[in-house]
C-alpha cells in the first residue's frame, strides 16, 4: 500500500505558505507548481484554485488566467478572492463596466476590503463617470481612513475633474507621509504647475530626477514645467533628453508631441527661432490690440453660449447668429453645408418656453437660440405675434450676415465642445467652413495632461486647437473662465497674424 498511496508530507497551511513565499519572491513558475501541489492534495481549499490566477495575469498570461478563473468559478463562485481576480482580469482588458460588476460583487461579499472601493473608483474614472468616481473614492477614504491608496484615488479623481487646487491638497496628504511614493510626487508636481506655482513644481521635479533620472513620468513633467515657465530653451533641451530616454516606449508622441510641434512651428516661423528653437506663442511679443478689439476678431459657432458670455464680460456685444445658441456639431455642419437656408423661415422656426424665456428652435438643424425675452413681456397675442415676426426677421438678417462673412473671411470662428473632441470632428467642421473661403477656426476641446488648459496649437494653416477645462454650467450659476479664454484668443490671434492667410485681414 505504501507504494500505491501518496500522502502529503506537509499540512495545507504549510503548502500554502510555501506558495505564498514563492509569489513574494516573484518566482512565478515555482508559485504555480506549489499551488498545483496544494490543489492536488487539498482540492477543497480555495487558495490553490484562486491565487494561481493572479500569478498568471501578473505574468501577462491572460488567457490562461481566464481559463483558471472559469474553473475556479465552477467550484467557488462567490469566493471574495475569486471575485477580485475576475475584476482584475476585466481591468487588464480595459473592460471597465464588467470590472465594476465584479468589484460590486466583491464589496457585497467582503465589505471590509478596501480594493473593492478603490479600484471601482478607478474604473469609474476610466469610464468618465467622474461624479460617481468621486463618490466611490470618498467612500473608500471614509471607510478606510488610514489607507493611503484610497486617498491617492481621491487625488486622481480630482485631477481628472481638473480641480487642481483640490488635487494638490489631496496629493500633498499622500506625499507628506510617503515622500518616496512616485505617483504622489508626480501628482504634486503636475498640480503645482496647473495652479501656477511653477517654481515649486520645478524644484520638486529637479530633485526627483536627481534620484530617478530615467523615470518616464518625471521626464515628461520636467518638460511641461519648462513650458509652464515659458522657458522654451529649457523645454527644448529637456525634450531632447526625454526623447532619447523614452525612445520606443510609445510615451513620447502621446505626452510630448505637442511640445515638439510647437518648437518646430516657431522654428519655421521666424529666423530668430531657427537659431534658438525655443520660442512659444506665449513668449512672443503680443501685437498691440485692445481686449475688446481682440474679442471682436472672433465669432462663436457654438456649441453653447460660453464664448458669447466671454465677449460680454470684456465689453463686446457683436451681432452673431450663433453667439447665444446651442448648436451640436453634426447639425451645425449640415446647416453650413445648406447655407443655413431654413433659418428664419416660418415653417422651420419653432417657439418654446424655458423658465419663462422665449426660446427659438430651428426644426431642420436642431439649433436652439436664446431671445432673453420672457413671456411676461408679451402679455397679449398681438405682442406675441409681433415678437415672432421680429425674431424671424432678425434670424434671416443674422443668417445672411454670417454667410456673407464666411464668404469674405475676416474673423476667426470659435467652436467649443466637451464631447466632439477628436481630430476627425475638428477636420469636418473646418472643411465645412473652408467650403465658403479661406476661413479660420479655433476649435476648443477638453485639456489633458500633455495639453494643459490655455494651450493653443496649430493643426494646419488656419486651424487651431485650444484647450479648456469644460463648458460652464450656467444653470448652476457657473461662468466661463474668462481670463483663460482671453489668453486662448490672444495666442490664436498671434498665430493667425503670423500667417499670410490673415496678414492683411484682421486688425
What is d(CA 92, CA 96) in angstroms, rounded to the nearest whole number?
A: 9
| Cβ neighbourhood burial of 476 (10 Å; 0-12, 13-18, 19+) | exposed
Please provide the DSSP assignment of 157-183 as one string: HHHHTT-HHHHHHHHHHHHTT-TT-HH
Q: Which three cell numbers stand for residue 75?
A: 467550484
What is d(CA 77, CA 83) in angstroms, rounded to the nearest whole number?
A: 8
What is d(CA 143, CA 111) in angstroms, rounded to the nearest whole number?
A: 10
Nearest to 175 by CA among 187, 164, 184, 166: 184
Looking up cell 508631441 gives 257
In the prediction, which pLDDT does 253 show? 57
Q: Which three cell numbers stand for residue 421?
A: 473632441
Under 8 Å between Cβ of 444 and 429: no
List per-residue pLDDT tens for the chain, 507 residues long: 444 444 556 788 988 899 899 999 999 999 999 999 999 999 999 999 999 999 999 898 989 999 999 999 999 999 999 999 999 999 998 888 999 999 999 999 999 999 999 999 999 988 878 889 999 999 999 999 999 999 999 999 998 887 889 999 999 999 999 988 999 999 999 999 888 899 999 999 999 999 999 898 899 899 989 988 878 889 889 988 888 777 655 566 556 766 775 676 555 444 333 333 332 333 333 346 888 889 999 999 999 999 999 998 888 888 899 999 999 999 999 999 999 999 999 999 999 888 778 899 999 999 999 988 888 888 899 988 998 999 999 999 999 999 999 999 999 999 999 999 999 999 999 999 999 999 999 999 999 878 888 899 999 999 999 999 999 887 777 788 888 999 999 999 999 988 766 655 555
Please provide the DSSP assignment of 286-338 as one string: PPS--HHHHHHTEEE--SSSHHHHHHHHTT-----TTTTEE--HHHHHHHHHT
In the prediction, which pLDDT does 1 show? 41
The half-sphere exposure of 179 on its side-chain side, counting CA atoms within 13 A, is 6
Phi and psi at 178, nearest 5°, equal -135, 70
What is d(CA 481, CA 420) in angstroms, rounded to the nearest whole number?
A: 20
- Neighbouring C-beta atoms of residue 48, cutoff 10 Å: 23
In the prediction, which pLDDT does 280 show? 32
In the prediction, which pLDDT does 273 show? 32
Give yes or no for a cis peptide into 303 (omega within 30° of 0).
Answer: yes
Sequence-ordered list of residues with C-beta below 8 angstroms from that of 136, at least 6 positions apart, any chain: 117, 120, 121, 124
Complete edge-to-edge strand list for the sheet that includes strand 357-362: 325-326, 367-374, 357-362, 349-354
Please report the sign of the dihedral spanned by the C-alpha atoms of residue 226, residue 231, residue 232, residue 236.
Answer: negative
What is d(CA 430, CA 440) in angstroms, rounded to the nearest whole number?
A: 8
Q: Are strands 357-362 and 349-354 parallel, antiparallel or unpaired?
A: antiparallel
Reported in sequence order, the residue ranges of 35-164 that DSSP labels E, i.e. its strands, are none
Looking up cell 495545507 gives 12
Reported in sequence order, the residue ranges of 209-311 that DSSP labels E, i.e. its strands, are 298-300
In the prediction, which pLDDT does 258 show? 62
What is d(CA 33, CA 10) in angstroms, rounded to the nearest whole number?
A: 15
Looking up cell 494646419 gives 460
| Cβ neighbourhood burial of 314 (10 Å; 0-12, 13-18, 19+) | middle
Nearest to 46 by CA among 8, 19, 27, 6: 19
Helix or strand holding residue 463 (H, E): strand 463-468
Helix or strand holding residue 475 (H, E): none
In the prediction, which pLDDT does 4 show? 44
Exposure string over 206-231, b if 16+ CB within 10 A, otherwise e: eebbeeeeebebbbbbbbbbbbbbbb
Complete edge-to-edge strand list for the sheet that includes strand 440-446: 298-300, 412-416, 440-446, 463-468, 456-460
Under 8 Å between Cβ of 378 and 458: no
In the prediction, which pLDDT does 272 show? 35
In the prediction, which pLDDT does 71 show? 92
Amino acid at each position: 500500500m505504501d507504494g500505491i498511496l501518496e500522502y502529503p508530507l506537509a499540512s495545507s497551511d504549510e503548502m500554502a505558505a510555501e506558495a505564498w513565499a514563492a509569489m513574494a519572491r516573484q518566482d512565478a513558475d515555482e508559485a504555480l507548481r506549489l499551488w498545483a501541489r496544494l490543489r492536488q492534495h487539498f482540492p477543497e481549499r480555495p487558495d490553490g484554485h484562486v491565487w494561481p490566477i493572479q500569478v498568471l495575469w501578473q505574468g501577462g498570461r491572460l488567457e490562461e488566467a481566464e481559463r483558471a478563473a472559469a474553473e475556479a468559478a465552477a467550484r467557488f463562485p462567490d469566493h471574495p478572492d475569486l471575485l477580485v481576480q475576475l475584476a482584475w482580469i476585466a481591468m487588464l482588458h480595459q473592460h471597465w463596466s464588467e470590472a465594476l460588476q465584479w468589484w460590486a460583487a466583491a464589496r457585497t461579499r467582503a465589505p471590509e476590503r478596501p480594493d473593492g472601493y478603490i479600484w471601482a473608483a478607478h474604473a469609474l474614472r476610466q469610464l468618465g463617470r467622474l461624479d460617481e468616481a468621486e463618490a466611490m473614492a470618498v467612500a473608500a477614504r471614509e471607510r478606510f481612513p488610514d489607507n493611503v491608496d484610497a486617498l491617492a484615488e481621491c487625488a486622481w479623481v480630482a485631477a481628472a475633474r481638473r480641480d487642481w487646487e483640490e488635487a494638490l491638497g489631496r496629493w500633498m496628504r499622500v506625499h507628506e507621509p510617503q515622500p518616496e511614493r512616485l505617483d504622489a510626487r508626480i501628482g504634486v508636481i503636475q498640480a503645482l504647475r496647473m495652479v501656477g506655482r511653477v517654481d515649486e513644481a520645478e524644484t520638486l521635479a529637479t530633485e526627483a530626477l536627481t534620484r530617478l533620472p530615467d523615470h518616464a513620468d518625471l521626464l515628461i513633467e520636467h518638460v511641461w514645467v519648462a513650458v509652464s515657465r515659458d522657458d522654451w530653451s529649457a523645454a527644448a533641451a529637456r525634450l531632447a533628453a526625454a526623447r532619447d530616454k523614452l525612445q520606443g516606449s510609445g510615451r513620447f508622441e502621446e505626452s510630448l508631441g505637442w511640445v515638439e510641434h510647437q518648437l518646430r512651428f516657431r522654428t519655421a516661423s521666424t529666423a530668430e527661432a531657427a537659431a534658438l528653437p525655443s520660442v512659444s506663442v506665449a513668449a512672443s511679443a503680443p501685437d498691440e490690440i485692445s481686449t475688446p478689439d481682440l474679442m471682436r476678431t472672433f465669432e462663436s459657432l457654438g456649441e453653447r453660449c460660453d464664448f458669447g458670455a466671454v465677449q460680454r464680460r470684456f465689453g463686446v456685444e457683436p451681432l452673431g447668429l450663433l453667439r447665444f445658441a446651442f448648436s451640436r456639431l453634426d447639425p451645425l455642419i449640415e446647416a453650413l453645408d445648406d447655407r443655413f437656408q431654413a433659418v428664419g423661415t416660418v415653417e422651420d422656426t419653432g417657439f418654446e418656453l424655458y423658465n419663462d424665456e422665449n426660446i427659438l428652435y430651428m426644426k431642420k438643424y436642431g439649433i436652439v437660440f436664446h431671445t432673453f425675452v420672457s413671456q411676461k413681456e408679451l402679455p397679449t397675442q398681438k405682442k406675441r405675434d409681433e415678437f415672432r415676426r421680429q425674431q424671424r426677421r432678425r434670424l434671416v438678417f443674422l443668417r445672411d450676415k454670417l454667410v456673407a462673412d464666411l464668404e469674405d473671411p475676416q474673423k476667426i470662428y470659435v467652436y467649443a465642445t466637451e464631447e466632439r473632441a477628436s481630430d476627425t470632428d475638428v477636420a469636418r467642421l473646418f472643411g465645412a467652413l473652408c467650403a465658403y473661403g479661406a476661413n479660420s477656426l479655433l476649435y476648443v476641446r477638453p485639456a489633458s495632461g500633455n495639453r494643459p488648459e490655455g494651450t493653443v496649437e496649430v493643426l494646419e494653416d488656419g486651424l487651431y486647437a485650444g484647450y479648456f477645462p469644460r463648458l460652464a454650467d450656467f444653470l448652476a450659476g457657473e461662468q466661463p473662465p474668462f481670463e483663460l479664454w482671453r489668453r486662448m484668443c490672444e495666442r490664436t490671434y498671434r498665430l493667425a497674424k503670423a500667417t499670410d492667410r490673415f496678414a492683411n485681414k484682421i486688425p
